[in-house]
Amino acid sequence: MRKLFVFSGVLALALFSANAYADDFAFGTSGFNSGNNLTINGTAYYNTDSGWIASTGVHGASNTNYYSGPEGANQLNNYFSFNLTNLSGSVTSASFEVYTYGVTTTGTYDIYATSLTPTEVNSSNDFISIDFFNDLTSGAEIGSVTLTAAESQSYVTFDLNSAGLAWLTANEGDQIVVGGAFDYTPPTTVPEPGSLLLMISGMAGFAGIFRYKMAKAL
């Protein structure tokens, strides 16, 4: 009987752990898309590279997928590189256009100014850098858009704010990296009756073990 209690407890714990993370993301199954662009003062500058960096700092070589959101216990943020060597003068208007691929849930996609260079986050390379991951979202937020599942497989366009215009102006003639993160509010999960029963039996199992050990100790 004690073994049954242990098994129930471990199974319930595994079930709870499996449900603790959900893959609610944007840009699922994406890859390099040459149509993604920054339109600055009416001129389109198309991305030269894209990719993701996990919260562990990991990026896999040749992965241009720009998935953003949780993946298991990790968070994946994305990035897009641009060559602005032909840009000169003050930036008065700018927008970002990106293809969504798959969006599973409603959330806000924010983009950020970074101090990274395209060479540092070249998607052709393997690298591990938590500093790179942090830099994708630690700069000024320069634009945001609400995404829903209805926006899947389409282009979305949103304007950059004043901080974004100032950042682009400061980087005229340079190569830049735009960071991005998909943020959403996880729904409250109500366990199914079967899952709830299994969880209760697991808790009862742990309680039984505790009582058994206490009885032996007396």
Beta-carbon contacts of residue 217 (< 8 Å; ≥ 6 apart): none
DSSP string, the chain: -HHHHHHHHHHHHHHHHHTS-----BSBT----TT-EEEETTEEEE-SEEEEEETTSEE-TT-----BEEETTEEEEEEEEEE-TT--S----EEEEEE--B--S-EEEEEEE----TTTT-TTS-EE-HHHHHHHHHS-EEEEEEE-GGGTTSEEEEE--HHHHHHHHHTTTSEEEEEEEEE--PPPPPPPHHHHHHHHHHHHHHHHHHHHHHHHH-
pLDDT digits (tens, 9 = 90+) for 24-81: 999 999 999 999 999 999 999 999 999 999 999 999 999 999 999 998 889 999 999 9
pLDDT digits (tens, 9 = 90+) for 131-171: 999 999 999 999 999 999 999 999 999 999 999 999 999 99
User: What are the boundaries of each domain within the chain?
Assistant: 2-16+190-217, 22-183
Does position 214 have pLDDT exceeding 80, yes or no? no
Does position 99 have pLDDT exceeding 50, yes or no? yes
**β-strands 43-46, 175-183 pairing:** unpaired
- Amino acid, single-letter form, for residue 46: Y
